[in-house]
Amino acid sequence: MSSGMDHFSLQPLLLQLLSSRGLALAGLLLLLVLCLRARRSRRPGEPPLIKGWLPYFGQALKLQKDPIGFMKTLQKQHGDTFTLLLGGKYITFIMDPYQYPFVMKNHKLSFKVFSKNIIRKAFSIQKFMTSELNNELRDCYQLLQGKSLDTLMDNMMQNLQEVFEHQLFKTTNWDVTHLLTFCTSAVFEATFTTIYGKFLGADRKKLITELKEDFLKFDNKFTHLISDVPIELLGNTKSIQKKLIKCLTSEKLAKIQGWSEIVQMRQDILEKYYTSKDVEIGAHHLGFLWASVANTIPAMFWAMYYLLRHPEAMAVLRDEIDHLLQSTGQKQGSGFSIHLTREQLDSLVYLESTILEALRLCSFSSIIRYVEEDLTLPSETRDYFLRKGDLIAIFPAVLHQDPEVFEAPEEFRFDRFVENGKKKTTFFKRGKKLKFYLLPFGLGASKCPGRFLAVIEIKQLLIILLTYFDLEIVDDKPIQLDKGRFLLGIQYPDSDVLFRYKVKS
């Protein structure tokens, strides 16, 4: 926060810039800075450099318009390694999947430097960066595995069934609604109550709805937040960010009942480094909440959308789920609850394949590292020099759409990851088996620690919907990926779509 003296001394400059002549001068100065940033030239031994004619932005607009098509074109022209100017940053892309381990294991490539910048911009967290706090918070992720994951899973199933409880006892008339809206409400409420617990009081539903609406507004600006655009230029984003952080402070969380183990552990750690009234504790919780739901919502949407568009897939999944419920002696119907272990969930190979196939088609996650020192990148054809201060990136969406790895990659095939009734994990490129063929959750140090819970939640939600409800698509219009989050997670649809559902008779 600026002091009064800073604010006072800036006033004459601000007044000058606000005049028409001042604005023109500021525009010219900005243009000059952008042009200077784009003056870089390729040195001997470096990867091909593609800057484009736009200063600062470079190739960002082309990449956003058609990420996979554009990257495939560059790969044909320049090979498996090339450097792009994107939003003022020089990013070297590694397209060869057999080079992925180099990015994962090289100690000169840092995820911390890159993530620190994002955390500061998006969530207004400043104190995350002490290595002790960072390491202690990372230790919490063990509570997203093993017995702790089993507890989360049981609570998630109970909360998901509660989300639909009032609908299960309605008449068997059709309800028509928008699919993305439906998935957003179900995922947000179930995830929040599983991780943070339940609001106390009669207005619980109102509070969770208001929190969800503010979260969606915040998430909608996320790509701008982590760019170089000041938050003050993003409309009311700063006030929404502050409101969300305030909702998740120690004082507010104390009024929520049923914290998960991981939230309790995180809170205990944060209170060692902050005073209990420090607002930044809420910023840490906002970051954790965002990581828990921001990509699960669109992933759930696409899994549902593809099933609705492919009744033959839905029929196979229903049969698989029915068979499991019968074999475990569980009755079906609105008066019964479903209880499944992790092993039983894992046995549903067509259900898991459906989710993986949806992720393959809609994940544009990238794996990005900061180059801490000049280094040499080895490859089968030649070695390249990389500069300190640049970024290096893997963009697996191109691999996910590679016809050599996945036959007819543009098609949704619900059984793509099933072979002879078991999970299929063997895929090839250039005649060699791929260790990494599907990377929606990142790789190495940046691999999503909550990936197991996210997939379990989608499985559980699909099981509830396929067991209790009849489901049909209403809009038969094809929808596309929004691509507004290119290089960042699961893409949202470019429009919502109507579907209808009713309780099975």
Residue 80: the pLDDT is: 95
pLDDT in tens, 204-252: 889 999 999 999 999 999 988 888 788 888 899 999 999 999 999 999 9
Residue 36: the pLDDT is: 58
Of 12-21, 109-118, 201-210, minimum mean pLDDT range: 12-21
Q: How confident is the model at residue 10 (pLDDT cuts 50, 70, 90)?
A: very low
* 494, amino acid identity: D
| Superfamily of the domain at 131-363+397-438+440-503 | Cytochrome P450 (1.10.630.10)
Token representation of residue 219:
């998430």
CA 58 to chain centre: 25
Taken in order 29, 33, 38, 39, is the CA torsion positive or negative? positive
Half-sphere exposure of 475 (CA within 13 A, CB side): 15
Q: Are 372 and 108 in contact (CB under 8 A)?
A: yes
* 455, amino acid identity: V
SS3 assignment, position 198: strand
The residue-averaged pLDDT of 39-48 equals 91
Look over the chain and give the mean of its residue pLDDT values, rounded to a whole number: 89
Residue 284 has pLDDT above 50, yes or no: yes
Strand 418-419 and strand 422-423: the pairing is antiparallel
pLDDT in tens, 426-451: 999 999 999 999 999 988 878 899 99
Token representation of residue 451:
């990936």
- Nearby residues of 1 by Cβ (< 8 Å), 6 or more positions away: none
Token representation of residue 438:
């599907």
Residue 475: the pLDDT is: 87
As a whole number of angstroms, the distance between CA 194 and CA 153 comes to 9
Residue 31: the pLDDT is: 56
pLDDT in tens, 326-372: 999 987 766 678 999 999 999 999 999 999 999 999 999 899 999 99
Taken in order 364, 191, 464, 174, is the CA torsion positive or negative? negative
Residue 320 has pLDDT above 80, yes or no: yes
- Nearby residues of 13 by Cβ (< 8 Å), 6 or more positions away: none
Write down the domain spans for the chain. Answer: 131-363+397-438+440-503
121 is in an annotated binding site: yes
Question: 30: how many CB neighbours lie within 10 A of its CB?
Answer: 12
Half-sphere exposure of 464 (CA within 13 A, CB side): 28
First to last CA, the chain: 60
Q: How confident is the model at residue 126 (pLDDT cuts 50, 70, 90)?
A: confident
Helices within 221-327 (DSSP H only): 222-225, 237-247, 250-253, 261-273, 280-293, 296-309, 311-327
The residue-averaged pLDDT of 275-291 equals 95
Tell me, yes or no, if the pTM score tops 0.85: yes
Residue 5: the pLDDT is: 37
CA 187 to chain centre: 14
Residue 32: the pLDDT is: 60
Residue 38 has pLDDT above 80, yes or no: no
As a whole number of angstroms, the distance between CA 279 and CA 247 comes to 10
The residue-averaged pLDDT of 135-150 equals 95
Strand 422-423 and strand 469-473: the pairing is unpaired
Of 79-88, 128-137, 262-271, 469-478, minimum mean pLDDT range: 128-137
Residue 4 has pLDDT above 50, yes or no: no
Q: Which of 413, 445, 451, 395 is nearest to 81 (CA)?
A: 395
Residue 444: the pLDDT is: 82
As a whole number of angstroms, the distance between CA 156 and CA 192 comes to 10
